[in-house]
Amino acid sequence: MALNERQHSEIVGQSKSVSTTKRATVQALEEILYEPVQVLDHGFVRVIDYMGDDSAIVQAARVSYGHGTKKVNEDQGLINYLMRHRHTTPFEMCEIKFHIKLPLFVSRQWLRHRTANINEYSARYSILGSEFYLPKPEHLAKQSSSNRQGREDVLSAEEAHYVLELLKSDAEQTYQHYQELLNEDGEGQVIDPNRPALARELARMNLTLNYYTEWYWKIDLHNLFHFLSLRADGHAQYEIRVYAEAILKIVKRWVPFAYEAFLKYRLNGAHMSQPALAVIKSLLSGKSVEQSESGLSLREWRELMVLLGRDV
């Protein structure tokens, strides 16, 4: 993971600062505060700030004072209940702010989640760095024949080499052209004093989507869990899933009770439709049920059978 001089200096400065506070803090999260967690080849996730902990969720649910109850199992049981019954507002009492570095194509997908506060690096004001994402060969796969959004078989070594060379040469060439449009090299020196520099807001348009951007992303725990339920799922695109998995590990440090409840009732749980529940009840009673009479579409039927561990 490449940190530029500014980022490294900022992280060192933040890590040395110590503040006295009366608010709740989480030691496990304090230990990694400001520290970048590497994601992909040049990306990272790091926690900048946070508010609240597991007890804040309990306090909001009970509208009580102090750190919840004196019995830990009661607090954990209440958080499980809130998650199980989809009571969302107590989880909104906790917030966290991240500094994230990620490829542009991942950031465009990420922005589909509109329930966060975000401020992105401005390529109108500053010059974008020369770092771009190149997948590892094992993550290069053919288009799925059954899923328009998915991948299928991994490319052969020869095919992967060809694709990587193409991606690399395209990214390098477009960045060279970007510098020429700016009339500025990597050291900030003018390339040709007789040629005007194109405005930064225009010069950026030719860059490929695998170049890296950065942003500050602040979100409450309820909406973060919604993001993670979609992006940490095995069906999510690999490049955004690894960011979600990194954030999930941070959440485990921050709110361990809520994290366990999320795994149990959301990420590794299942929500049943009325027809699906009727099928399960019939199967439990020993009845044979066919897809044609279940009230489920063929796709829903297959998903249910996979969930139940039955042959489709």
What residues are paired with 47 via a beta bridge? 98
Catalytic status, residue 231: yes
Percent of the chain with pLDDT over 90: 76
Q: What are phi and psi of 150, to 5 degrees?
A: -115, 175
pLDDT for residue 280: 95
pLDDT for residue 244: 98
**Of the ranges 126-130, 210-214, 246-250, which one carries the lowest mean pLDDT score?**
126-130
Buried b (16+ CB within 10 A) or exposed e, 15-34: eeeeeeeeeeebeebeeebb
pLDDT band at 50 (very low <50, low <70, confident <90, very high): very high
Q: What is the rounded average pLDDT for all residues in the chain?
A: 91
Q: CB neighbours (10 Å) of residue 260? A: 16
pLDDT for residue 2: 59
Angle at 268 between CA 71 and CA 88, to 5 degrees: 55
DSSP 220-246: EHHHHHHHHHHHSSTTS-HHHHHHHHH
- Tell me: pLDDT of 260 over 80: yes
Q: Which of 231, 241, 266, 299 is catalytic?
A: 231
Residues of the chain with CATH 3.30.1360.170: 5-132+210-267
pLDDT for residue 94: 97
Pick the CATH number of 5-132+210-267 from 3.30.1360.170, 3.40.50.300, 3.30.830.10, 3.10.20.600: 3.30.1360.170
> Tokens for 1?
């993971």
pLDDT for residue 124: 87
Contact 52, 96 (CB under 8 A): no
pLDDT for residue 63: 84
